[in-house]
C-alpha cells in the first residue's frame, strides 16, 4: 500500500481528491489539513442562497462529518500548515507539530484581494466573501434600507448585489473598468447583466474607481469615488478578484508563477507534491492558466486521484461555470481567452439570450443567460470540436439541436 497522502486545504479540490481516491478503492492513509474550523463545504452558495438565508450550513457541506471516519479519512480542522520541509518530507503546523507524507497535495485555494489600509480597507464594515465566516458576518449586515457599496463588477460583486436587492438594501456597485464583467465576458454579456441589475434597482457606475473610504470611529461611513463624488454607506463589499494561495509552495522552492505551476497530472516541480484547484497554474492549449471554478477544482482533483491510483490519463480542462443572480442563471461553457469575434443569439423566451465566442473562426465559448438550450448545445459543440454556421446560429428560428446533427 502507498504511504500517507497529506492534503493541505479542506475545500472543494482537497475533498474531491480524498473522495475520489476512496471511490477508486485506494486504501492509502489520507490526512486532510484544513485551516477553517468547519468540515469541508461548497463556496458558491456563500454569495447566493446561503447569504440570502435560504440554505443552512448542513446543506453546504459535501458530506456529513461521519463520512470521514467511515471512509478512513483523517480530517483535521483548524490545522493551518506553516511550512513544507521537502527534504524531510513533512509539513509543519502552526502549533509546531509535524506530519510526514509520502505524497503531498496542495489544495489551498485563493484569497480575495483587499483594499489597502491607506484607502480605508481596514475600517470595520468592509468585507470580502470567501468563507463561511465572511458570509455569516455579512448576513448580519444585510438589513432592509441599509446602504451597501460594492466595489468590483465581477461575479461575486454582482451576486452579492442581487442578494442585497432581494433583501431590500440600497445598492451602489462601482467598477473601475469600462464595463462590469470586463475581465471575463464580452460587451454583449456585460450589457445584458447590467440591464438586469439596473432593472432591479442597483446603481451601476462603470469607469468609476474608489478614491478612499471614509470612517467614523473606525467604522466605514462614506466613500469618495474617482469622479470626486461622495456617497454615504453603511457597509462595503470588496469583490476585486483573488490571489492564489501559493506562499507555502514558493517558500519550499517549487515553481510558482501566479499560482503553483503543475503539469497535466497535477504534479509540481517536485514529483512528490501535487497542486490543484484555484492555487494551481495548469497547462492549457500551449499556454498556462489558472481556473477559479468548482468544475476545475473537482475535475483536476479527480484526474489527479485517478493517476495516484495507477491511471495514466492527463487532465484536460473542459471549463464550465455558472452564476445565479435574481432569477437569472448565467451558464458559461468553454474559455473565451483571446476571442476575436462574438455573436449574440436571442433566446426563445423573454429575457433569454446567448453570446457565442470565436477565435480564428473556431467556436471557443458560450455565455447563456436563462437559456439552457444554448448552453447545452454550446457545450456539446465545444466537446465535438465543431463550429456552427453563423447564419443559422444567429437566426432565432434555428433549432439548436439541428446544429448538433
Ligand atoms: C463566494 C463564492 C462564490 C463562488 N461561486 C462560484 C460559482 O458560482 N461557480 C463556480 O464554478 N465557482 C464559484 N466559486 C469558486 C469556487 O468556489 C472555487 O473555485 C473553489 O472553491 C476552488 O476550490 P479549492 O479547493 O481550490 O479552494 P477552496 O475551496 O477555497 O479551499 C481551499 C481551502 O484551503 C484552506 N487553506 C489555505 N491555506 C491553508 C494552509 N496553509 N493550511 C491549511 N489549510 C489551508 C483554506 O482555508 C480553504 O478552506 C465561488 C467562490 C466563492 C468564494
Q: Mind listing the pLDDT tens digit for each residue in 51-103?
A: 999 999 999 999 999 999 999 999 999 999 999 999 999 999 999 999 999 99
Contact between 191 and 199 under an 8 Å Cβ cutoff? The reply is no
Separation CA 63–CA 251 (nearest Å): 33
Q: Is the CB of 129 under 6 A from ligand 1?
A: yes
pLDDT at 404 over 90: no
* pTM beyond 0.85, yes or no: yes
Please report the atom of ligand 1 found closest to the CA of residue 324: 8
pLDDT of residue 209: 98
How far away, in angstroms, is 112 Cα from ligand 1 center? 10
pLDDT of residue 42: 98
pLDDT at 12 over 80: yes
pLDDT of residue 82: 98
Q: Which domains does the chain have, with CATH numbers?
A: 5-111+243-308 (3.50.50.60), 114-238 (3.50.50.60), 327-404 (3.30.390.30)
Cell matching residue 210: 474608489
pLDDT, tens digit, for every residue of 239-258?
999 999 999 999 999 999 99
pLDDT of residue 341: 97
Please report the atom of ligand 1 found closest to the CA of residue 280: 26
Q: Is the CB of 43 under 6 A from ligand 1?
A: yes
Q: Residue 147: pLDDT band by 50, 70, 90 thresholds?
A: very high
pLDDT, tens digit, for every residue of 360-391?
999 999 999 999 999 999 999 999 999 999 99
Q: Is the CB of 157 under 6 A from ligand 1?
A: no
How far away, in angstroms, is 117 Cα from ligand 1 center? 25
Separation CA 92–CA 85 (nearest Å): 8
pLDDT at 204 over 90: yes
Contact between 300 and 318 under an 8 Å Cβ cutoff? The reply is no
Q: Tell me which DSSP letter residue 401 carries.
A: G
How far away, in angstroms, is 294 Cα from ligand 1 center? 8
Contact between 381 and 387 under an 8 Å Cβ cutoff? The reply is yes
Q: Is the CB of 248 under 6 A from ligand 1?
A: yes
Q: Residue 133: pLDDT band by 50, 70, 90 thresholds?
A: very high
Separation CA 367–CA 213 (nearest Å): 34
Separation CA 354–CA 92 (nearest Å): 49
- Cβ neighbours of residue 361 closer than 8 Å, sequence gap 6 or more: 341, 387
How far away, in angstroms, is 308 Cα from ligand 1 center? 23
pLDDT of residue 2: 86
The angle subtended at Cα 243 by Cα 171 and Cα 106, nearest 5°, is 130
Average pLDDT for the chain: 96
**Residues 209, 160, 155, 394, Cα dihedral to 10°:** -110
pLDDT, tens digit, for every residue of 14-55?
999 999 999 999 999 999 999 999 999 999 999 999 999 999
pLDDT of residue 378: 96
Angle, helix 294-308 to helix 12-23, in steps of 10 degrees: 40
Higher pLDDT, 286 or 164: 164
How far away, in angstroms, is 297 Cα from ligand 1 center? 9
Ligand 1: residue whose CA is nearest its atom 47: 35
Separation CA 40–CA 401 (nearest Å): 39
Q: Residue 301: pLDDT band by 50, 70, 90 thresholds?
A: very high
**pLDDT average, residue stretch 343-360:** 93
How far away, in angstroms, is 7 Cα from ligand 1 center? 14
Contact between 3 and 94 under an 8 Å Cβ cutoff? The reply is no
pLDDT at 405 over 80: no
Please report the atom of ligand 1 found closest to the CA of residue 131: 53
pLDDT at 401 over 90: no
pLDDT of residue 353: 96
Give me the percent of the chain exceeding a pLDDT of 90.
Answer: 94
Ligand 1: residue whose CA is nearest its atom 7: 44
Q: Which residues pair with 84 in a beta bridge?
A: 91
Separation CA 300–CA 305 (nearest Å): 9
pLDDT of residue 229: 97
Residue burial 179-190, b: 16+ Cβ < 10 Å; e: rest: bbbbebbbebbb
Q: Residue 396: pLDDT band by 50, 70, 90 thresholds?
A: confident
Ligand 1: residue whose CA is nearest its atom 2: 44
Q: Residue 348: pLDDT band by 50, 70, 90 thresholds?
A: confident
- Which of 7, 18, 275, 293 maximizes ligand 1 atoms within 8 Å of its Cβ, making it the mutation to test the pocket? 293
Q: Is the CB of 31 under 6 A from ligand 1?
A: no
Amino acid at each position: 500500500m502507498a504511504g500517507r497522502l497529506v492534503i493541505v486545504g479542506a475545500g472543494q479540490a482537497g475533498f474531491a481528491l480524498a473522495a475520489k481516491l476512496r471511490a477508486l478503492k485506494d486504501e492509502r492513509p489520507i490526512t486532510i489539513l484544513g485551516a477553517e474550523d468547519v468540515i469541508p463545504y461548497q463556496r458558491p452558495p456563500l454569495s447566493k442562497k446561503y447569504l440570502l438565508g435560504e440554505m443552512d450550513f448542513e446543506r453546504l457541506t459535501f458530506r456529513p462529518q461521519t463520512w470521514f471516519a467511515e471512509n478512513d479519512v483523517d480530517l483535521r480542522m483548524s490545522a493551518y500548515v506553516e511550512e513544507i520541509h521537502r527534504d524531510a518530507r513533512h509539513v509543519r503546523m502552526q502549533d509546531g507539530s509535524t506530519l510526514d507524507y509520502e505524497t503531498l497535495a496542495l489544495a489551498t485555494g485563493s484569497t480575495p484581494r483587499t483594499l489597502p489600509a491607506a484607502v480605508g480597507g481596514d475600517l470595520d464594515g468592509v468585507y470580502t466573501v470567501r468563507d463561511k465566516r465572511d458570509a455569516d458576518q455579512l448576513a448580519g449586515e444585510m438589513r432592509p434600507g441599509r446602504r451597501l457599496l460594492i466595489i468590483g463588477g465581477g461575479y461575486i460583486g454582482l451576486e452579492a448585489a442581487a442578494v442585497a436587492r432581494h433583501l431590500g438594501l440600497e445598492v451602489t456597485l462601482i467598477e473601475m473598468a469600462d464595463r462590469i464583467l470586463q475581465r471575463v465576458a464580452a460587451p454583449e454579456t456585460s450589457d445584458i447583466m447590467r440591464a438586469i441589475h439596473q432593472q432591479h434597482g442597483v446603481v451601476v457606475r462603470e469607469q468609476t474607481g474608489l478614491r478612499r473610504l471614509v470612517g467614523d470611529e473606525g467604522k466605514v461611513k462614506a466613500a469618495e469615488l474617482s469622479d470626486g463624488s461622495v456617497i454615504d454607506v453603511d457597509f462595503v463589499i470588496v469583490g476585486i478578484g483573488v490571489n492564489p494561495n501559493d506562499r507555502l509552495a514558493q517558500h519550499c522552492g517549487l515553481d510558482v508563477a501566479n499560482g503553483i505551476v503543475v503539469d497535466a497530472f497535477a504534479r509540481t516541480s517536485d514529483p512528490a507534491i501535487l497542486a490543484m484547484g484555484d492555487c494551481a497554474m495548469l497547462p492549457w492549449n500551449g499556454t498556462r492558466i489558472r481556473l477559479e471554478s468548482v468544475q476545475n477544482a473537482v475535475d483536476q482533483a479527480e484526474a489527479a486521484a485517478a493517476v495516484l491510483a495507477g491511471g495514466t490519463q492527463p487532465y484536460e480542462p473542459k471549463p464550465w461555470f455558472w452564476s445565479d443572480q435574481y432569477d437569472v442563471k448565467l451558464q458559461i461553457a468553454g474559455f473565451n481567452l483571446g476571442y476575436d469575434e462574438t455573436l449574440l443569439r436571442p433566446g426563445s423566451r423573454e429575457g433569454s439570450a446567448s453570446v457565442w465566442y470565436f477565435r480564428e473562426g473556431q467556436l471557443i465559448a458560450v455565455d447563456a443567460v436563462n437559456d439552457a438550450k444554448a448552453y447545452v448545445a454550446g457545450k456539446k459543440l465545444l466537446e465535438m470540436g465543431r463550429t456552427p454556421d453563423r447564419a443559422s446560429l444567429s437566426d432565432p428560428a434555428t433549432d439548436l439541436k439541428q446544429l448538433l446533427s
